[in-house]
Amino acid sequence: MERLVGKSAPEFTMNAVKGDASGFTEIKLGDYKGKWLVMFFYPLDFTFVCPTEITGFSRRAEEFRDLKAELLAVSCDSQYSHEAWINQKANEGGLGKIDFPIASDKTTEVSEKYGVQIKEEGISLRGLFIIDPEGTVKYSVVHDLNVGRSVDETLRVLKALQSGGMCALDWHEGDANL
Rounded CA-CA distance 34/141 in Å is 23
Of the residues 50, 74, 102, 116, only one is catalytic, namely 50
Q: State yes or no: is 167 an active-site residue.
A: no
Q: What is the DSSP string of 25-38?
A: EEEEGGGGTTSEEE
DSSP string for residues in 67-126: TTEEEEEEESS-HHHHHHHHHS-GGGT-----SS-EEE-TTSHHHHHTT-EETTTTEE-E
Active-site annotation, residues? 50
